[in-house]
Structure 1
Amino acid sequence: MPYKLIKGEFHVHYPDRPLSGPEPDGDTVKFLPDNRILVDVLSAPGRSAAFNQRGMINLRFEGIDALETHFAGSHQNLEWAEAARDKLLSQIGFTSIEFSDRNPNKIITVDDHPQRGYILANNLDTFGRIIAFVYTGDTAQVDGSQVFIEDSHVNQSLNYQLLEAGLVYPAFYTSLPTDLKQSLAQLVRNTKQENTGLWPESTANTERIANFTEGLTEIENLVMWPKLFRRLVRYVGAGFTNLSQLDAWLREDPINRDDRVLLPNGELGNMHDVIDVTSPLKLRMNYEPEDLVIVPDSTVIPQPPPVKPQPQTNIRIIAALVNPLGKEIGQERVTLLNVSAQEQNVTDWTLADSIGKSIPLPELLNSTVLAAGEVVQVTLNSRVRLNNTGDTITLFDSQGSMVDQVSYARKDAKEEGVTLVF
């Protein structure tokens, strides 16, 4: 899926009303696009861009999740939450930043503001934020260009720099292409191995149990996956004093609590599958965040394609010429193979197209048997026509039961004279 390049400005401060301004953290800044229409076209059914009155919109940095400097009246370990925030603001180019004493998440003065930059985006989240890879400075590429993003693009992003510095956790959603997810997951593993950034202090993971010896209020001091932290804050806010009811509490609300996730084995699971409560005050994760893919509530997981009917005999349709050169009537051909070690009697068998028109197979073969291991190419007549827009070929036995079936699409039949192999 291509990403759209959108140019604009990064804002973290309202000079006219500083205490009503943004509250940037390690993965959130305001973005003022040069052309708002380019953001609006990212909208999907049920989602629209959440612009404020100043024409700005929040960015959600693709692939990363920083520790919370503020969330529902709480926060995570501030050393690392603020380290990610300060790194991001510095990388964007803001200088001489002063936060308010009264509200420590508001910037009251900042130099070199706003800053130019651009994003690569392909989606909006359920809150109307842009999901994006974020870049500083300008680019010669045209605003609104389609970019087929590769590792080289990702490696230049602020998202990548924060992961590489070990200042944020990974958070991979289904919007992230699989190859990029794999590259970023490997970056996280390398950073962990090097004990970079917050990783030596990370807890509630597969190797280190979070031990709430002094009660659940300790979550503000611990370094843990922010998605898990946010669930715990809501859990504590509901009045729970230990973890014994966490699993049941998650399952009660599959939309807001028990998020869907793709597990490392590819199965669809939920947050309760990810978390393991080992005692009323001990918690760990069953999987590492970089091995999970978060499935948004609005995402429909496609069902696996139907299994091709298994042949009831040993005769297979192995190829077809559906778009012959020049005249087609009397030139379309289907290739059959007897895969067995015995000859097969095909008396009263038929070959049919998708609308049910059929030809007796013995008529095409000039025989009622197919020898063991025999490959035969039969030429169709006007009673069965294979459409160049796509069709299905079915072989039926004398009882009308399906023996084998193959299908092809328009794109498969577009070239004249090419034999399709099934």
Structure 2
Amino acid sequence: MALDYYKVIHGTLVAVSYQPDGDSIRFVADDPDQFGELHRGHQVIPSRRDGSVQLRLEGIDAPETHYGKAKQPLGDAARDALLSTLGFASWDFEADGATVEMTSPEAVSATILTKAADVHGRPISYLFRDGVIPHDDGDVVPLGGNLFYESANCKMVSSGDAYPLCYSSTPRAHRSALREAARHARAHSLGVWGQDESELFSLVDAASIGIHGALIYPKLFRRCTDYLKQALAAQVDYNLADWLRDNPSEDDKLFIEHGGRSRPIVVPLHAAIEQRNARIAFMPDLTELVFIEK
């Protein structure tokens, strides 16, 4: 695996009074000034309450536990898998079922490797349990080989608790490793792959893809949810592809990566969708998708 370099930031993970899910959690840096050296680091603003920031875990997308009020099948399972992977032994929730009331231990030591924040001010991170990264705070180190497979990111894809979600900014070698991990999980019907219906699913209303509906690729779920809110509320005769075409901010750009090095063809998300009466066909292989970073 080719080497890519990242800043080491040590700290602790916290969940009490927050709503973690299968691909994001709150992180308190030992030295918050380290964020300032990241690309878009000025947008990382620690919470005044406890100094924590929301992480965006690189390369993965877990079923949603709370996209607004919308929720997917296996969202809770993905969240619980991440908490367990990171070293939390137990946890309880408040009455809403999403906000963490207590954890044991209260916080978990961890390390992130990061080089940028996203447009929402979340450090785009590979996340590791305490002791895995033998480097000092602020060091810039390579991430490749066996170390990559020790990340919580790769472990979540390998177990099938999360889908791969690769961007053009994700190093090619990392995309390849996540793709192979996802394909192995899919071949054994692990986690999401035992229920995934992204290839062909009904889309009549929110319940079609809700907690008791079809499990689909989370990014696609978010676009479908936004579409349903707008199109059905306005009572317009739209289909999903048409709506995406008319809403460029939702019509993600992507390409399919087969492993070759030829220049990929970038297409809009709507071009990968086919309307079949009340059903949606999403045609790409989910392990080969690469989205263009905004």
Q: What's the secondary structure of 2:191's corresponding residue? A: coil
Kindly tell me: are residues 92 and 272 of structure 1, through their superposed partners in 2, closer, same or farther at Cα, counting changes over 3 Å? Answer: same
Equivalent positions of 1:118-157 (< 5 A) are: 118-138=111-131, 139-157=133-151
Q: CA deviation at 1:211?
A: 2.6
Match of residue 7 from structure 1: 10
AA paired with 2:290? V
Equivalent positions of 1:76-87 (< 5 A) are: 76-77=72-73, 80-87=74-81
User: Does residue 105 of structure 1 match 2:98?
Assistant: yes
Q: 2:208 aligns with which of 214, 218, 227?
A: 218
Q: CA deviation at 1:55?
A: 1.7
Post-superposition CA distance 1:18-67 (Å, at most 9, x none): xxx2100111110001111211211339x611322132111111110000
Match of residue 181 from structure 2: 187
User: Does residue 167 of structure 1 match 2:161?
Assistant: yes
- How far apart in 1 are the matches of 2:89 and 2:177? 32
Coordinate RMSD, CA, aligned: 1.9
Q: What's the secondary structure of 2:175's corresponding residue? A: helix
Match of residue 233 from structure 1: 225
Q: CA deviation at 1:277?
A: 1.6
Equivalent positions of 1:261-300 (< 5 A) are: 261-264=254-257, 266-279=264-277, 281-297=278-294
Q: 1:249 aligns with which of 223, 227, 243?
A: 243
Q: Structure 2: 5+ residue runs without aligned partners?
A: 258-262
Identity %: 26
- How far apart in 1 are the matches of 2:215 and 2:236? 19
AA paired with 2:256? L
Q: Say if 2:239 and 2:275, in contact at 8 Å, map to a contact too.
A: no
AA paired with 1:57? V
Match of residue 251 from structure 2: 258
Q: Say if 2:116 and 2:124, in contact at 8 Å, map to a contact too.
A: yes
Aligned residues: 280
- How far apart in 1 are the matches of 2:81 and 2:239? 37
Q: CA deviation at 1:85?
A: 0.7
User: Does residue 203 of structure 1 match 2:197?
Assistant: yes
- How far apart in 2 are the matches of 1:115 and 1:121? 19
- How far apart in 2 are the matches of 1:134 and 1:186? 19
Q: Say if 2:202 and 2:208, in contact at 8 Å, map to a contact too.
A: no
- How far apart in 2 are the matches of 1:149 and 1:177? 10
Q: CA deviation at 1:244?
A: 4.7
- How far apart in 2 are the matches of 1:48 and 1:128? 5
Post-superposition CA distance 1:275-301 (Å, at most 9, x none): 22222x11121212221111122xxxx
Q: CA deviation at 1:123?
A: 1.3
Q: Say if 1:118 and 1:135, in contact at 8 Å, map to a contact too.
A: yes
- How far apart in 1 are the matches of 2:134 and 2:243? 51
Kindly tell me: are residues 146 and 38 of structure 1, through their superposed partners in 2, closer, same or farther at Cα, counting changes over 3 Å? Answer: same
- How far apart in 2 are the matches of 1:216 and 1:237? 8
Q: 2:54 aligns with which of 51, 58, 62?
A: 58
Post-superposition CA distance 1:198-229 (Å, at most 9, x none): 21210122xxx1134x6442110221100000
Larger Rg: 1
Post-superposition CA distance 1:83-132 (Å, at most 9, x none): 1111111122223311112x211111222111101011121111110111
User: Does residue 178 of structure 1 match 2:172?
Assistant: yes
Q: CA deviation at 1:242?
A: 9.5
Match of residue 70 from structure 2: 74
- How far apart in 2 are the matches of 1:216 and 1:157? 34
- How far apart in 2 are the matches of 1:243 and 1:71? 25
User: Does residue 24 of structure 1 match 2:20?
Assistant: yes
TM-score by length of 1: 0.63
Q: Say if 1:5 and 1:118, in contact at 8 Å, map to a contact too.
A: yes
Q: Say if 1:43 and 1:49, in contact at 8 Å, map to a contact too.
A: no
Q: Structure 1: 5+ residue runs without aligned partners?
A: 14-20, 298-422
Runs of 4+ aligned residues of structure 1 deviating over 3 Å after TM superposition are 241-244
Post-superposition CA distance 1:350-381 (Å, at most 9, x none): xxxxxxxxxxxxxxxxxxxxxxxxxxxxxxxx
TM-score by length of 2: 0.90
Post-superposition CA distance 1:164-190 (Å, at most 9, x none): 111111100122110111121011112
- How far apart in 2 are the matches of 1:110 and 1:121? 26
